[in-house]
Structure formats: C-alpha cells, structure tokens
Amino acid sequence: MCKNFGVTVALNHVNLTLKSGEIRGLIGENGSGKSTVSSIVAGMQKATSGEMVYDGKPWNPSNTLEAQTNGICMIVQEAGTIPTIPVADNVFLGHEELFAKGPFVDHSK
C-alpha cells in the first residue's frame, strides 16, 4: 500500500501480514508511517494505492464505523479521547451496551 500527502510520500509500498491471534507492534521513528498504515486499516483515511485483504476478502472500509463493526479499531495517542472519563470508558466508548446493567455501566465487567 502507498499513501501520499501531496508530494510527501508517507507509505511507499508497505506490505504487512497479520494472522489471527498474533500480537504485533509497529516500531519505528517518528514519521516512519506507523500511524498512517494503522489509520488506513482502521478506516480513518484512504490509501493512495494498493490493496488490503481482511478475512480473505478485499478490505477498504469507508469509515471507522464500518471498520469497527467488522472488528477493527484504533485507539489513538493524540487528541480524540475524552479527558474527563476513565481510559476504559474511552476504549469502549459507543459499546456501553456490552457492560450495561439497566441504564448504568457495570464498571466491574
């Protein structure tokens, strides 16, 4: 996959294979493309070229909601979290029903 921002090349023919159950870390210097590739997989932005395959089918989420509905999401380190609520609440924001007990969130779950 490739990603350009104008004349700036952020990703130059990146190839990444992940298998079910694997845990991987993307490590590299600032500006090496870690967040860019992650955000493309998670539907936050589009690749300039290339293709992705997820679960044996072409993967090109139109937005983060589509990606999240299909089991892929990204928690960003930058702004985008709600500072007045706990980390766990930020992680599961929008999925409170998984932890609901009536109209309240069961934080012990």
Residues 21 and 67 in one domain: yes
**Residue-wise pLDDT tens for the chain (109 aa)?**
999 999 999 999 999 998 888 888 889 998 899 999 999 999 999 999 999 999 899 999 999 889 988 988 887 766 667 778 887 777 777 777 788 778 787 878 7
pTM, two decimals, is 0.73
Same domain flag for 11 and 35: yes
Q: Give dist(CA 91, CA 103) in Å, integer.
A: 19
Q: Give pLDDT, residue 78.
A: 65
Nearest partner of 46 among 56, 37, 58, judged by Cα:
37
Whether residues 53 and 88 share a domain: the answer is: no
Closest by CA position to 73, among listed 41, 42, 44:
42
How far apart are alpha carbons 18 and 59 in whole angstroms? 14
Q: How far apart are the first and last CA of the chain?
A: 39
Counted domains in the chain = 2
12 and 59 inside one domain: yes
Same domain for 15 and 46, yes or no, is: yes
Range of the domain at 31: 3-74
The answer to whether the CB of 105 falls within 8 A of the CB of 86 is no
* 90 and 107 in a common domain: yes
